[in-house]
Structure 1
C-alpha cells in the first residue's frame, strides 16, 4: 500500500519547482503550514529558488503586520502570478500588487473554494452568476487588480451563456503542489484535523491537486500508530498524501490561531464556561452596529463580515441578550458560538457546528442568508458599493461578493466620512466633533464590489447605515431615509456627499437609544417584531 514519506520542511521545498503552481489552505493564520512556508521564504532569499510561482489561495492567510502565512511568500521574484480571495491582512502582498510587481487576480472566496470541486471533476471551469456586474465580470475588470495584470494577456474569468442566461466561467488552475495542515498523521498517512479551528476545504483541494497529479504535503504536529485514528475523523486518506512534515516547533509554527497555541473550546473538544459578555465601549462603530441591528428580524440566519460588523455585531448581540433569536454564521463554516475578532477572524468559541468552508458557501450562494452585515468603503449614486480597492490598495473581496449577491437583506456598515472623523453621543443624539477628510458617498465608486442595479432587480433589500444617516437602495439609486438627531441635513450630510441622493418624503430620526450607555433595547425590538409575526416595523 502506498504510504507518504516523512520529510523535513527543507526537503518539502524541493517538491516546489520554479514556475510551478502552489496552493495553500488556511484562513488568517489558522491552519497555516508555517514550518514549510518559512522554509520556502528562507530558501528563496538564500538561493533564489523556488521562483516565478503561480500561487492559488482562497482565503486571506495572514494576520495584519505579522510575518506568518502568505506574508512569507510576498517577495518579488518568488511569485509571478497570484489568484487570491483576500489580501487585507497582508500588507506585503498588497504592496507587491500596488507596485505592479506581480500579476494579481482577485476572485470571490466562495467561488474559489468551490473551484476545487470543478477542477477535481475535470470540468472546464466553475459556472456561476456570482460576480456578474462587479469588477469580477470580464466586461468590467475581470478580477485584475493592477495594470500588470490587465496587460498580461491572460483571463481568469470568462463569460458564457447557458439556456439564455449569462454565467461567469471561473477557469481552472493547475495545482502542482498543495500544502495542507493536520493535527495527527498515522503511520499510513491518514490525516486527522481534530485540533484545527476550522474544517476549511482541505479534502476538495486534495482531490483537485490529485486530478493534476500534483503533490500533497501535510504539516502535522505528531505521527501516531496506524489504526489509532477513528476513521470518521480522518479528513484525508493517507493514499492521497505524498509527504508529511512533522512540525519541530509547534508552539510557534503549529498554533491553532495567531493569538493562542491551542484552546479546545475553539475546535470542539470541550465547551468553555459561559462568561458575561464584555460590552463594546460606546463609540462610532458601536452606534453603527446598533442601528444596523435594529433591522434584524426574529429567528434569522445571519452572516457577519470583517470590519465594523466583525468587531461589534457579535458583541452587541451578546450584550443585548438576543443570541437565542439569531444564528450567527461566519464564512469559514461556523455556526453559533462567540466569533474571535480581527486577526483571529473565522474561529469561534463554543460553536454549535463547524462545517467545510466550501460547503458554507453553498448556503451563501444558494439559499442565501437572511441578513448579512458587511463593511463598506464607499457607495455611489447608483447604489454600487466598493469594499475591495481604495486608491492603489487592493485588499480584495474575500467572501463579500458571494454573500452580498444572494442574501435577502444586505446591511452595509460604514462611517459617513473617513480619515479622522470623531463624534460624541448623548441621550439627545450625535455631535460631529471633527469631520473626516475622505468622502465615502461618491459619484462613482472606484471599483464595483456590489452592483446596486442588479441587487434591485433581484428584489434584495439593501441599507447603507452610518453614524448619522441611513440610505435605502431604490430602483433610482440610494434614498436618504433617516438622519441622526443633532446633525444638520445640509452641512453634515448633503455637503459631505459628492452626489445628491433621493430624499424620503418623511425623513425618520434615528432612535436616540443607540447613543446611550448600557443595553439599548434590542431584545424588546425583536420581541415586538415577533408579536407582529416577524413584520418589520
Structure 2
C-alpha cells in the first residue's frame, strides 16, 4: 500500500507546517502509518470488528491490506469477524475480501449476503458462523466496551435465533451457544453473550496528530465509537482509516467522534477511491449533511407491480409518525409519499442512524439527504427496541399460513436477517410488502383491472417457511397489527393465521391467488383494493390519511331520528383514526340536537389489532353522550368476534349482527 498522502481540505493544514516549536516529540510519536504497518499488528486468532453499512462507510483500504497480507504471508490466521450489516458490494469488495481459506475461523454477523464467498464457506462447514440480529450485535459492542458479559433483550424470541430453534447457528460445526433463553420475573428473555474484541477497523474523515477523529464527510456514524472503545478496553488495537490529516486543534471538541485515547493507528486512504462515500458515490454533500438539496422533483415511479404495492402500503402510513422502510418493494413507499405530498407529515428513519429527510436508495441505502439528524446505529436500535417506531414496511421472501416470514435463508442462499428481526418485532405496526410470486412476474393494467400476463416461477406463500425470521404467532399474541401487501391482494394476520382481506379488481381468487399458494388462507368477506391504486395520477392519499371523508360516511334522517354510519372498507390504522371517528360522530349528533338511534355498517371495516380497546372506549363515549339505541353489523365472523370481545371488556352491548336487515330490525326501524 502507498504511504500516507499529504493532508487535504479546509480547515486542514499540513501537519508539518502546523507543528510549533517543542512539538517535535509529539510528531515523532505520530499514530499515522501505512495500512500495511497497521494491519501487521493483527495476530492469529484475533477477534476483529469492522464498520460499514451495506455499501457505505467501509474502510476499504484496511480490508484490502488484510487480504494482501494473508495472501502473501498466510497470516494472520483463524480470525473471528464480527460485523453488523453487510459491508461490501457482493462481488468481492469490503468484507468479501476476507474469504480466503484459513483467514477466518468464525463469523458473527447480521448479514452474509454482501460476502457470498464467506457465506458459502459457512454453509459448507468450513468456518463457524452465527447470524444474529443487527441491532443486537450493534448494542453488544457497548456491552464489550463496558465489560458486561452480554445483553438481555426480547429481540429474536420465537425466531431461528431463539435457542429452541437453532440459536442463530448457521451450520453444524458451530457448537458454542451464544444465545440463552432465560426467565426473569415470569417473562422470557434472550441473553446474548458478548465476544471480547481485539481489533477494531473503523473509518472517519479527519484525524489530528493525537488520533482524534471527526466524521464530517461521512454519511453515517454507525458504531465506530463503541467498536473503538470495545477493542481499546480489551487491550486491543484500534485502526482508523481516514481521508485526511489535520493540524492539532483543527477539530472542535464536540466534533470529535472518537477521541484519540482510543486510537492506535491512523491510515490515510490512498488512492482516494479507497475512501469513497459508498461504492456508487464518491461524495455527496447532501448525504453528509453539509448542504441541503431540493427534492421536489424526484422522479415519478412507473405504474407497475412495485408501485401498486408501494401505493397500497402507503395507506398504512401514520401521519406525524416515525417510519422505517426496508429494501426492495418497501423503499417505493418513500417515492409514493413524495408524489402524494405526504412526506412533510412523516419522519423516515433508517436503522443505520439517519432520521428525517429523504431516504436514499441504491448504493446509498441507509443514508438520507437533508436528514434532521444522524445518530449512532446502536442508539437507533435503542429507539427501535424500545418501541419508538410507529410503522415499518419490510420485504418478504417467504410467508406461510401462520404469518411467519422468512428473509434470512431461502433458495439455498444464506442472506442473513440484518435488522429485520429487531425492527419487525418492535415496531407498533408492520407491513410486509412484495410481489405475490417471484421470478419473471409480468402484469398489465387494463381499464383499471389488474391482469397477470405471466406468473412468477417461484411461490412466496409456502406451506412452511425455511427459516422463521418473523413469528406470526408471537406477533398475534402481542396484538401487533400486521398486513401482507402484494400487487393482487392483501392479507391480515389474525390469531388463526392469514386472512385474505382485499383483492385487486380483475383478479380471480381461485385462479390468480389460491392456485399459486401452498395453503388456503382464511377467506370471509374480502373487499376490493382501492381502485385508485391502479389508475394514473394522484390517489388523494393525504386526504385519506387525514380522514377528510369521514363526515361523508355519516348521515342523519331527522324523520326517523336515525344516524347511519357507513364504515364499510374504512380502516382504523392508528389512534388518530379512532379519535377522528369519535369527533365526526359527535359533531353529527350535536347537529341533530338530541340523542339518536344509530346503525353502524362495519362490513369490511378493519381495526388494527392493538386498537380494539380504544375503539371500544370510543363506542362507550358515544353511547353515553349521543345514542338512544345502537346496532352494528358485519358479514365477517372474525370482525364480529373481535368487536364483541372488545365491547364485552368495556361492559357494552356486545351484539354485532351479520346483516343490515337484522341490525335495523333490532331497533324496530326499516332499512329503507
TM tier, smaller: over 0.9
- CA separation of 1:52/1:454 partners in 2, compared to 1, >3 Å: closer, same or farther? same
Q: Does 1:28 align with 2:49?
A: no
Q: Residue 343 of structure 1: CA displacement?
A: 2.5
Structure 2 residue 142 is matched with structure 1 residue 110:
no
What is the CA-CA distance between 1:19 and the residue it aligns to? 1.7
Per the alignment, residue 238 of structure 1 pairs with 260
| 1:76-122 residue CA offsets vs partner (Å, 9 max, x unmatched) | 22111100011233333333333333222011001111111112222
More displaced stretch, 438-447 vs 97-106: 97-106
Question: Which 10-residue stretch deviates more, 219-228 or 42-51?
Answer: 42-51
Tell me if 1:323 matches 2:343. Answer: yes
Q: CA deviation at 1:4?
A: 5.7
Counterparts in 2 of 1:535 and 1:191: CA distance versus 1, 3 Å: same
Contact 1:63 1:344 in 2 (8 A): no
Q: 1:421 aligns to what?
A: 441
| CA spacing shift, 1:87–1:70, aligned 2, 3 Å | same
The question of 1:43 aligning with 2:69 is answered yes
Q: Which residue of 2 aligns with 1:135?
A: 160
Q: CA deviation at 1:408?
A: 1.1
| Residues in 1 aligned to 2:211 and 2:429: alpha-carbon distance in whole angstroms | 45
Does structure 2 retain, via aligned residues, the 8 Å contact 1:320–1:521?
yes
Aligned twin of 1:94:
119
Counterparts of 1:213 and 1:34, CA distance in 2: 24
2:360 matched residue in structure 1: 340
Mark the CA change 1:202 to 1:74 in structure 2 (over 3 Å): closer, same or farther.
same
Checking the alignment, whether the CA contact within 8 Å between 1:185 and 1:222 is kept in structure 2 is: yes
Higher mean displacement: 210-219 or 265-274: 265-274
Q: Does 1:302 align with 2:344?
A: no
Superposition deviation, residue 223 in structure 1 = 1.3
Please identify, of 12-21 and 96-105, the stretch whose mean Cα deviation from structure 2 is larger: 96-105
SS of the equivalent of 1:286 reads: helix
The counterpart of 2:532, out of the listed 502, 513, 518, is 513
In structure 2, C-alpha distance between the alignment counterparts of 1:275 and 1:480, rounded to whole Å:
37
**Once the 2 structures are TM-superposed, how far is the Cα of residue 270 of structure 1 from its aligned partner?**
1.4
TM-score, normalization: structure 2?
0.76
- Equivalent residue for 1:280? 301
What is the alpha-carbon distance in structure 1 between the residues aligned to residue 491 and residue 254 of structure 2? 49
For residues 265-307 of structure 1, the C-alpha deviation after alignment (integer angstroms, 9 at most, x for no partner) is 1111111234412111221111111111112232211110122
CA 42–490 in structure 1, closer or farther in 2 if over 3 Å, else same: same
Superposition RMSD in Å:
1.8
For the residue of structure 2 that corresponds to 1:22, the secondary structure is strand
SS in 1 for 2:137: helix
Aligned residues: 530
| Deviations 1:64-87 (CA, angstroms, capped at 9, x unpaired) | 43x321111122221111000112
For the Cα contact (< 8 Å) 2:129–2:174, is it kept in 1?
no
Secondary structure at 1:6 match in 2: coil
Q: Which residue of 1 aligns with 2:576?
A: 534
Larger radius of gyration: 2
In the TM superposition, what is the alpha-carbon distance from 1:168 to its structure 2 partner? Answer: 0.8
The 3 A distance-change label for structure 1 pair 286 and 89 is farther
1:453 aligned residue? 473
Indicate how the Cα distance of structure 1 residues 296 and 275 shifts in structure 2: closer, same or farther if over 3 A, else same: closer
Report matched runs for 1:92-241 at 5 Å.
Answer: 92-146=117-171, 150-241=172-263
User: 1:69 — aligned with what?
Assistant: 94
Partner of 1:6 in structure 2? 32
Partners of 1:485 and 1:512 within 8 A in 2: yes
Instruction: Please show how residues 421-500 of structure 1 align to structure 2 within 5 Å.
Output: 421-500=441-520
- 1:101-159 CA-to-partner distances (Å, cap 9, x unmatched) read 3222011001111111112222221010110000000110111123xxx3332112112
SS in 2 for 1:442: coil
Give me the whole-angstrom Cα distance separating, in 2, the residues matched to 1:429 and 1:279: 21
Alignment correspondent of 1:271: 292
**How far off is 1:42 after superposition?**
1.5
If asked which structure has higher relative contact order (CA below 8 Å, sep 6+), I would say: 1
Pick from 391, 397, 400: which aligns with 1:371? 391
Alignment partner of 1:534: what SS?
A: helix
Report matched runs for 1:372-411 at 5 Å.
372-411=392-431
> Structure 1 pair 465/172, CA: closer, same or farther in 2 (3 Å)?
same
SS in 1 for 2:490: strand
TM-score, scaled to structure 1: 0.95
SS in 1 for 2:118: helix
Give yes or no for contact 2:543–2:549 (8 Å, CA) kept in 1: no
User: Is the Cα–Cα contact under 8 Å of residues 4 and 242 in structure 1 kept in the other structure?
Assistant: no
Cα contact 2:127–2:173 (8 A) shared by 1 = no
Cα shift at 1:32: 1.0
Counterpart-to-counterpart distance in 2, 1:295 and 1:83: 35
**2:275 corresponds to:** 254
In structure 2, what is the Cα distance between the partners aligned to 1:326 and 1:445?
A: 33
CA distance in 1, matches of 2:295, 2:507: 40
Q: Whole-Å Cα distance in 1 between the matches of residues 319 and 175 of structure 2? A: 50
Q: Is the 8 A contact 1:427 1:513 kept in 2?
A: no
- Cα deviation code 1:350-396 (max 9, x no counterpart): 11111111111111100231110000111111111111111320111
Distance in 2, matches of 1:275 and 1:324, equals: 11
User: Does the aligned pair in 2 maintain the 1:4–1:238 contact within 8 Å?
Assistant: no
CA distance change for structure 1 residues 426 and 294 in 2, over 3 Å: closer, same or farther? farther
Q: Distance in 2 between matches of 1:302 and 1:531?
A: 25
CA distance in structure 2 between the partners assigned to 1:64 and 1:152 by the alignment: 24
Distance, in Å, in 1 between the alignment partners of 2:116 and 2:531 is 38
- Unaligned 5+ runs, structure 2: 1-24, 552-574, 579-604, 606-672
Between the aligned partners of 2:175 and 2:351, the Cα distance in structure 1 is 32
Higher helix fraction (1 or 2): 2
Task: Give the drift of 1:530.
Answer: 9.4
- CA positional deviation for 1:319: 1.4
